[in-house]
Amino acid sequence: MKNKNSIIDIAKQTIEMEANAISNLSNLITNDFAQATELIYNSKGRVIITGIGKSAIIANKIVATLNSTGTPAIFMHAADAIHGDLGSILKDDVVICISKSGNTPEIKVLIPLIKSAQNKMIAITGNKDSFLGEHADYILNTFVEKEACPNNLAPTTSTTAQLVMGDALAICLLELRGFSKNDFAKYHPGGALGKKLYLRVQDISAVNEKPKVLPTTNIKNVIIEITEKMLGVTAVVENDKIIGIITDGDLRRMLSKVDDFSKLTAKDIMSANPKRIESDAMAIDALELMETNGISQLLVEEQGKYAGVVHLHDLIKEGII
């Protein structure tokens, strides 16, 4: 029975072993990598990625990464390929085969079929002298000295190397395509990640109440406006332009300083020149502005006119934080 210290040591050794293997991977990048990248970039077809076992799982992840960064890709299981799925490979498609040994039976059956269709083939393999390595047009070498598994059997270090090589390929293609944040947002419209890239301030402020008072509004009506609109704030507006802001905090500070506020108006207690943001600004920019200034609300402007309020809670609700 291993104690906690032994478990921690094993974990550290595993991480260090895989880190060293990945570090060495950069030494295995050759002209084949550059040519394979250019082949995919210039291709009129898709990328078909195939593998078996743990390599098939890695192939699925690489497909997902390519698709989300502008390179159309499809996963094809090597075992299914020889039972009908070969029909999914079109004339202009580029095929990537992933295999540590490059000599599995399924790969040996599959490769001649791909070559007979004259599709270009890229190998991601740890054995460049294998059957796969010998028949591929380009080799992305993912050789590792040893698996992290103490028996040197379970794919661990080798699959990590395959994954990193796939990431390197995807990022190179992304750079070649000039794939931008806006492009990324198109492929990731859902969830917090997508919202950070496409959600604008006006998308949030448009559904909020729009609290506002005149500079001459008495304090009682200021309190009513803030309470009814439930945003903890009101803009002080004159001729549709923002001249100040009053928050719950401003009201509390006023009450601690004066006993009689019956003659006070909004202008007497407002904070002039408040922080504000344009309605077409990104919601993530509103968050950064709030964090920088230690505030929880921002007044929104549109073409110099008061357009509403965006609150920190709105950003939390949308998953921006």
Of 179, 210, 245, which residue sits at a domain end? 179
Q: What are the binding residues?
A: 77, 83, 216, 268
pLDDT at position 180 over 80: no
pLDDT at 263: 85
- Mark which of 131, 146, 179 sits at the end of a domain: 179
Q: What is the pLDDT of residues 253-277, one digit of tens each?
A: 998 888 888 889 999 999 998 999 9
Give pLDDT tens digits for 35-55: 999 999 999 999 999 999 999
Residue 97 contacts residue 81 (beta carbons within 8 Å): no
Half-sphere exposure (Cβ direction) of 4: Cα atoms closer than 13 Å: 0
Annotated binding site for Zn(2+), which residues?
77
User: For 26-84, where are the alpha helices, taking DSSP H only?
Assistant: 31-42, 54-68, 78-81
- 122 and 243 assigned to the same domain: no
Give the global pTM. 0.67
pLDDT at 153 over 90: no
Non-local CB neighbours of 110 within 8 Å, separated by 6+ positions? 50, 78, 81, 82, 86, 97
Residue 194 maps to a domain: no
Element housing 94 (H / E): strand 94-99
Q: Is the domain of 152 the same as that of 267?
A: no
Q: Could you give the 3-state DSSP secondary structure of residue 32?
A: helix
- 171 lies in the same domain as 223: no
> Do 33 and 156 belong to one domain?
yes
Q: What percentage of the chain exceeds 70 in pLDDT?
A: 94
Residues 130 and 234 occupy one common structural domain: no
Q: Which residue has the higher pLDDT, 258 or 145?
A: 145
Sorting pLDDT into bands at 50, 70 and 90, what band is 2?
confident
Going by the annotation, the residues of the binding site for substrate are 77, 83, 216, 268
Do 38 and 153 fall within a single domain? yes
Give the pLDDT mean for 183-206.
70
- Residue 258, domain member (yes or no): yes
Q: Do 73 and 137 share a structural domain?
A: yes
Q: Is residue 185 part of a domain?
A: no
Q: Are residues 81 and 30 in the same domain?
A: yes
Do 166 and 216 belong together in one domain?
no
Contacts of 132 (CB under 8 A, 6+ apart): 97, 99, 102, 103, 107, 111, 123, 125
Let me know whether 112 and 21 are in one domain.
yes
Name the residue range of residue 296's domain. Answer: 201-317
Residues 64-88 have pLDDT tens digits of: 999 988 899 999 998 888 777 788 8
Number of domains in the chain: 2
The pLDDT of 139-168, averaged and rounded, is 94
Regarding whether 229 and 84 lie in a shared domain, the answer is: no
Q: Is residue 94 one of the residues assigned to a domain?
A: yes
| Spatial distance between the Cα atoms of 300 and 228, rounded to a whole number of angstroms | 19
The residue type of 255 is L
